[in-house]
């Protein structure tokens, strides 16, 4: 029983520590996003007032940034995670020397079309762009596409400061803005029901998504790996 009690206390404590730090990081993330949004809004007001930039935080664990046709959702998961034995994190001396360092909180970055929210198109697809993992000592790494997948992987030494957060967020936003909306294939809509047309006319619920599909393991895959 004493061993069970010790296990419960030790695991609960490290998870509480990780949750507290992740929440602090998410507050920093919202501060950095506010700075980015202010700079982009000032630039848009001078160059093209039709370009909308806004930031909204509906609760403590979510933040939404609208950049014209894109809405990016930053979401902090409330749970703490460990990684399977095959994960690269377990080959890190930092984790090998102290297993508690391998417990991480996660902040997800999702991208949706702004019109999906504006017209309540519930069938539209959104995509996971990156995941930021952070432990109790603010050591972090990022999983994501292109540069997001390899620039931030020094879990041994890298600490998630506001400066590092800004680098991650700017890369994520650049990646999102560099992809355009593809029209569905003609064959997809050769035959439609009257009910489909009526629904489309009433609410513009044509299922759409940006060309953002990928797996973190391979850029050759077309599906998103959540």
Half-sphere exposure of 139 (CA within 13 A, CB side): 17
Of residues 187 and 81, the one with the higher pLDDT is 81
Question: Whole-angstrom Cα distance, residue 25 to residue 63?
Answer: 13
The pLDDT-based confidence of 214 (bands split at 50, 70, 90) is: very low
CB neighbours of residue 212 within 10 Å? 19
Whether 29 has a pLDDT exceeding 60, the answer reads: yes
Domain boundaries, the chain: 2-203
CB-CB contact of 210 with 224 (8 Å): no
Span 108-133, mean pLDDT? 84
Average pLDDT over residues 160-182: 89
CB contact at 8 A, 152 and 168: yes
Taking residues 158-172, report their average pLDDT.
96
Given this model, what pLDDT does residue 218 score?
Answer: 38
Question: How far is 184 from 226, CA to CA, in rounded Å?
Answer: 23
Closest CA to 77 of 103, 105, 102: 105
Residue 54 CA to chain centroid, in angstroms? 17
pLDDT at 155: 95
Q: How many residues does the chain have?
A: 226
CA distances from 201 to 95, 112, 198 (A): 56, 21, 5
Write out pLDDT tens, residues 135-145. 999 999 999 98
Which of the pair, 57 or 18, is modelled with greater confidence?
Answer: 18
Order of strands, edge to edge, in the sheet holding 140-144? 53-59, 62-67, 70-76, 105-113, 127-134, 140-144
Side-chain-side CA neighbours of 111 within 13 Å: the count stands at 29
pLDDT recorded at residue 153: 92
* Collapsed DSSP state (helix, strand, coil) of residue 177: helix
């Amino acid at each position: 029983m004493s061993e069970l009690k010790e296990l419960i206390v030790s695991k609960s404590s490290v998870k509480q520590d990780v949750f507290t730090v992740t929440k602090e990081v998410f507050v920093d993330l919202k501060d950095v996003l506010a700075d980015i949004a202010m700079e982009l809004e000032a630039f848009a007001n001078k160059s093209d007032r039709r370009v909308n930039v806004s930031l909204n935080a509906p609760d403590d664990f979510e933040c939404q940034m609208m950049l014209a046709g894109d809405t990016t959702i930053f979401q902090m998961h409330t749970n703490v995670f460990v990684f399977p034995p095959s994960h690269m994190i377990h080959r890190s001396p930092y984790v090998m020397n102290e297993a508690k360092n391998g417990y991480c909180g996660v902040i997800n970055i999702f991208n949706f079309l702004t019109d999906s929210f504006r017209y309540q198109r519930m069938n539209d697809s959104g995509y996971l762009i990156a995941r930021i993992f952070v432990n109790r000592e603010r050591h972090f790494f990022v999983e994501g596409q292109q540069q997001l997948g390899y620039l931030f992987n020094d879990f041994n030494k890298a600490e998630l400061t506001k400066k590092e957060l800004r680098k991650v967020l700017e890369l994520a936003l650049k990646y999102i803005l560099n992809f355009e909306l593809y029209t569905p294939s003609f064959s997809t809509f050769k035959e439609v029901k009257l009910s489909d047309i009526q629904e489309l006319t009433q609410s513009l619920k044509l299922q759409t998504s940006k060309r953002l599909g990928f797996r973190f393991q391979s850029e050759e895959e077309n599906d998103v790996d959540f």
